[in-house]
């Protein structure tokens, strides 16, 4: 029997370190993999994190979930390859570099040189890799860091090219010119899913502005309300609803004549004098405020010309500055008349396009650059950041006598989840994956084939996202990422998509060792139409890093260039696990790409955990470090206590957990110390048996025990019930249910679920 020390001298963390040392001594993980390599494969996909800081408790939670499931699958007869992965490209890395180098504008990167910039990015990717390995290994997880995969590796990037080429051949890829969520902090458009990651409640200015009708005998003016006054200099049209009734009214206080929707007359101020109106708190008009001069339907307003606010777009006057109609105009706010700046609103762009005010494509003038600054076309505000210039825009409108009223409104606004800058809508060219109705229907069917824990996330949150799925913007006008493998002729008539390094080398005659921008941007392809048509050049964009992580099931094993049989025999994968925030992230992009490629889901089983918050309820952040360092807590209480604290919480049901160091201490006091004291009691009594001559203590296999003693029978029953329960719950990927013995056999009840367990007896310690 093993020696045990006094309880006060016993340290769980030090005992764990002894175990880790023993595992390392016998190379336990690799030995296990070797011994099970002849068994059926259990395919586990490990979602790649960014190594831009050391792991926090959210990462330890995810690692623990993955470790529990993969260990269990190994114990029940499977070979489970476990390779750690790293997300190496994209905005998180570039953000770190730009902070380090003080870069605030895109032009600075170009001046510096894309080659130098990208190599700076490469240098920081592995900064925290050793720290990650130390924390994850210390937490007790078995995972292969030596054979890890990185999204910046040539093999991984080549498989990403192959994935894109398959989608292109299926006509699921197109180049579009759209209004998209745009991060001025990152100087790039974002996908719709990224735009919804971070929202804040903010107070922004609004404005009610006049647009005088040209040639009206009463000098009437349309009144439009806008919640984005900064884009008033880019106005090209006004939009009404053809089905609404509109009124021409005269203000009895100052004689000004306005046109607004009948249902929105109450939105006008009682006194159209801006100063007085503001002093009265924006009082609503009473029955004596306005005289109705005329009534007409919205359709009759279409085509009427008005005087623009500014002359920045005077070259558009032949087609612009007129009224159009669309049903998207509502009467629950504003004036029933909407100002349209087609470069900065999805509906604005669509309506102006439908009414021939702008031309489809890149002919649209976008008077705000990628840094969020007004371009030289907007002369009075040239070089100003749009949101900083907003108050001055309102003042300029007021100076022209065109401001009816201004105020502020509180609303939720999307923010860049990397730079914490407010997003704007901005038109621009980009490459998209088409999510048409047919693909959306297949996505929903494939989702039904997957098993989620908890299932309500799949059936509600995730399904709702799929039903509302839109075309995916997969290109980024950035530098550090997998470049889009598209070469296009100068006239746009010839397009070649590379699906491999070999194809690029054959068509270009250039040996390729690296696929990053600074290594391949200068490579050209001769036109197949002849020398007179010049050469094809690569488009500048790189992939959204979600495209890379969504390609992980293929790229991490370099499919289809290697491991073809392994992949095709074992796809879809068996298991993935990440946080609930990945419903719009990794889970979605895994499913979208696998459905588009193979018509199958990427995975069969999924555990979705909640978010670990700090003790104040704020999301843990590597940059803010708003949590006690995991290494300190583990050194004080042990990794087992941290793991059990996390697993024995609502977070495994996709709910949130406020991490408290005291909670880990509670696990030590309420679980591990009682267990250890029971163990010490057993060992000490076994020693006494040997000392008093009763003979050596020989443990008996209670599973084969056939004793008439009721306590022995209970032990046997409890053991079998526990085995049955653990297998059932683990096979169902439920890591949270607890086995509770009821006083009346033969039921076994745990967390609301009942099961009849044959051979089950009541606990001898139960009462009643």
Q: 162, 225, 487, 586: which is the annotated catalytic residue?
A: 586
Between the alpha carbon of residue 94 and those of residues 117, 185, 370, 478, 746, the distances in Å are 9, 11, 16, 9, 61
Q: For residue 148, what is the enclosing H or E element?
A: strand 144-150
**pLDDT given for residue 417 in this prediction:** 76
Q: Are 79 and 37 in contact (CB under 8 A)?
A: yes
Where does the pLDDT of residue 694 fall: very low under 50, low under 70, confident under 90, or very high at 90 and above?
low
For each of the domains in the chain, give its residue range(s) and CATH number, in order of start.
Answer: 205-343+389-407 (3.90.740.10), 485-538 (no CATH), 670-756 (no CATH)
Q: With beta carbons less than 8 A apart as the criterion, state whether 230 and 387 touch.
A: yes
Burial of 704 (0-12, 13-18, 19+ CB in 10 A): exposed
Does residue 280 register a pLDDT over 50? Answer: no
Q: Report the share of the chain in percent with pLDDT over 70.
A: 90
**Annotated catalytic residue, options 230, 342, 405, 582:** 582
> Given 3-state DSSP classes, what are the helix, strand and coil percentages for the chain, each rounded to the nearest 5?
40, 20, 40
Write down the catalytic residue from 46, 546, 572, 601: 546
Does residue 586 have an active-site annotation?
A: yes
pLDDT higher than 80, residue 371: yes
Mean pLDDT of the chain: 87
619 is catalytic: yes
- What confidence category does residue 134 fall into, taking pLDDT thresholds of 50, 70 and 90? very high
Cβ(141)–Cβ(29) below 8 Å? no
What is the per-residue pLDDT for 763? 37
- For residue 546, indicate whether it is catalytic: yes
What's the average model confidence in pLDDT over 59-69?
94
Cα distance between residue 671 and residue 746, in whole Å: 27
- Whether 741 shows a pLDDT value over 70: the answer reads no
* DSSP code string of 523-541: -EEE-TT-GGG-EEEE-S-
pLDDT in tens, 750-762: 333 334 333 333 3
The pLDDT-based confidence of 747 (bands split at 50, 70, 90) is: very low
Pairing verdict, β 322-325 and 612-613? unpaired
User: CB neighbours (10 Å) of residue 518?
Assistant: 17
Residue 768 pLDDT > 70: no
Q: Which residues, other chains included, contact 203 with Cβ-Cβ below 8 Å and sequence gap of 6+? A: 408, 409, 410
Q: Is 582 a known active-site residue?
A: yes
CB 498 within 8 A of CB 483: no
- Could you say which of 46, 49, 67, 87 is catalytic? 87
**pLDDT over 90 for what percent of the chain?**
62
Strands (E), 436-514: 451-453, 472-473, 475-476, 486-489, 495-497
Contacts for 352-361 with beta carbons within 8 Å, 24 or more apart? Answer: 352/236, 352/237, 352/324, 354/324, 354/326, 355/237, 355/324, 356/319, 357/236, 357/237, 357/316, 357/319, 357/320, 357/322, 357/324, 358/236, 360/177, 361/177
pTM higher than 0.95 for the full model?
no
Q: Which of 478, 430, 477 is nearest to 117 (CA)?
A: 478
| Spatial separation of the C-alpha atoms in residues 456 and 441, rounded to whole Å | 20
pLDDT at 186: 79
Pick left, alpha or beta for residue 174 (phi over 0 → left; psi -120 to 50 → alpha; otherwise beta): beta
- Across the chain, how many H-helices and E-strands are there? 26, 29
**Cβ contact 248:293 at 8 Å:** yes
pLDDT band at 411 (very low <50, low <70, confident <90, very high): confident
- Beta-bridge mates of residue 475: 543
Has 762 been annotated as catalytic? no
What is the distance between the alpha carbons of residues 646 and 613, in angstroms, rounded to a whole number? 12
Q: How many CB atoms lie within 10 A of CB 565?
A: 7
Query: Long-range contacts for 743-751 (Cβ within 8 Å, ≥24 apart)?
Result: 743/767, 743/768, 748/721, 750/725
Which residue of the set 252, 276, 503, 619 is catalytic?
A: 619
Q: Report the pLDDT value the prediction gives residue 509, as an integer from 0 to 100.
A: 95
**Active-site hit among 48, 181, 285, 422:** 48
Three-state SS for 767? Answer: coil
Please tell me the predicted confidence (pLDDT) of residue 204: 85
Catalytic residue (one of 67, 308, 622, 630): 622
Cα–Cα distance list, 34 to 37, 78, 524, 546 (Å): 5, 12, 47, 33
Whose tokens are 């009763």? That residue is: 694
């Amino acid at each position: 029997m093993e020696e045990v020390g006094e309880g006060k001298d016993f340290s769980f963390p030090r005992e764990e370190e002894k175990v880790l040392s023993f595992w390392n001594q016998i190379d336990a993980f690799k030995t296990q993999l070797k011994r099970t390599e002849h068994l059926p494969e259990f395919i586990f996909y490990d979602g790649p994190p960014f190594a831009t800081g050391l792991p926090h408790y959210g990462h330890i939670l995810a690692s623990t979930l993955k470790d529990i499931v993969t260990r269990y699958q190994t114990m029940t007869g499977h070979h489970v390859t476990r390779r750690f992965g790293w997300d190496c490209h994209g905005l998180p890395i570039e953000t770190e570099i730009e902070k380090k180098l003080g870069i605030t504008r895109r032009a600075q990167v170009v001046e510096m040189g894309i080659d130098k910039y990208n190599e700076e990015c490469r240098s920081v990717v592995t900064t925290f890799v050793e720290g990650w390995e130390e924390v994850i290994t210390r937490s007790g997880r078995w995972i292969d860091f030596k054979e890890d995969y990185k999204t910046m590796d040539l093999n991984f990037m080549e498989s990403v090219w192959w994935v894109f080429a398959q989608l292109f051949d299926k006509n699921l890829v197109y180049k579009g010119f759209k209004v998209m969520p745009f991060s001025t902090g990152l100087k790039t458009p974002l996908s719709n899913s990224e735009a919804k990651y971070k929202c804040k409640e903010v107070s922004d200015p609004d404005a009610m502005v006049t647009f005088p009708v040209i040639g009206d005998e009463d000098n009437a003016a349309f009144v439009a309300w806008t919640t984005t006054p900064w884009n008033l200099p880019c106005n090209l049209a006004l939009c009404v609803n053809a089905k609404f009734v509109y009124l021409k009214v005269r203000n009895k206080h100052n004689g000004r004549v306005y046109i607004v929707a009948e249902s929105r007359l109450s939105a006008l101020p009682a006194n159209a004098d801006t100063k007085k109106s503001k002093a009265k708190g924006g009082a609503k008009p009473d029955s004596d405020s306005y005289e109705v001069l005329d009534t007409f339907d919205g359709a009759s307003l279409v085509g009427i010309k008005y005087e623009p606010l500014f002359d920045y777009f005077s070259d558009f006057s032949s087609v612009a500055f007129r009224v159009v109609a669309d049903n998207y105009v509502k009467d629950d706010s504003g004036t029933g008349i909407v100002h349209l700046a087609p470069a900065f609103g999805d509906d604005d762009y669509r309506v102006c396009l439908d009414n021939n005010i702008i031309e489809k494509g890149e002919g649209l003038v976008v008077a705000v650059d990628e840094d969020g600054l007004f371009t030289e076309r907007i002369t009075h505000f040239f070089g100003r950041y749009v949101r900083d210039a907003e108050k001055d825009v309102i003042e300029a409108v007021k100076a022209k006598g065109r401001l009816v009223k201004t105020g502020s409104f509180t609303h939720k606004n999307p923010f860049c989840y990397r730079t914490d800058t407010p997003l704007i809508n901005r038109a621009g060219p980009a490459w998209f994956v088409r999510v048409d109705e047919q693909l959306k229907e297949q996505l929903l069917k494939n989702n039904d084939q997957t098993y989620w824990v908890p299932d309500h996330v799949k059936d509600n949150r995730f399904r709702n996202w799929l039903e509302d799925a839109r075309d995916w913007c997969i290109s980024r006008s950035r530098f550090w990422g997998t470049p889009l493998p598209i070469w296009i002729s100068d006239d746009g008539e010839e397009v070649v998509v590379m699906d491999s390094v070999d194809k690029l080398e054959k068509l270009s005659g250039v040996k390729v060792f690296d696929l990053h921008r600074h290594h391949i941007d200068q490579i050209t392809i001769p036109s197949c139409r002849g020398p007179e048509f010049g050469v094809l050049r690569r488009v500048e964009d790189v992939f959204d890093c979600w495209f890379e992580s969504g390609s992980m099931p293929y790229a991490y094993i370099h499919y289809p260039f290697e491991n073809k049989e392994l992949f095709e025999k074992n796809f879809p994968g068996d298991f993935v696990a990440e946080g609930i925030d990945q419903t719009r992230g990794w889970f979605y992009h895994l499913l979208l790409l696998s459905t588009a490629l193979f018509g199958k889901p990427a995975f069969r089983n999924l555990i979705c955990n909640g978010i670990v918050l700090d003790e104040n309820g704020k999301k843990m952040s590597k940059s803010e470090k708003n949590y006690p360092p995991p290494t300190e807590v583990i050194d004080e209480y042990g990794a087992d206590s941290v793991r059990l604290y996390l697993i024995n919480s609502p977070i495994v049901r996709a709910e949130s957990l406020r991490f408290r160091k005291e909670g880990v201490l509670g696990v030590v006091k309420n679980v591990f110390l009682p267990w250890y004291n029971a163990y010490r009691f057993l060992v000490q009594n076994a020693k006494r048996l040997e000392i008093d001559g009763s003979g050596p203590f020989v443990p008996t296999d209670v599973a084969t025990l056939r004793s008439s003693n009721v306590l022995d029978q209970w032990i046997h029953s409890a053991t079998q019930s526990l085995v049955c329960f653990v297998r059932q719950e683990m096979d169902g990927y439920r890591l949270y249910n607890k086995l509770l013995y009821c006083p009346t056999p033969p039921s076994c009840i745990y967390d609301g679920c009942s099961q009849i367990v044959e051979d089950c007896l009541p606990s001898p310690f139960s009462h009643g």
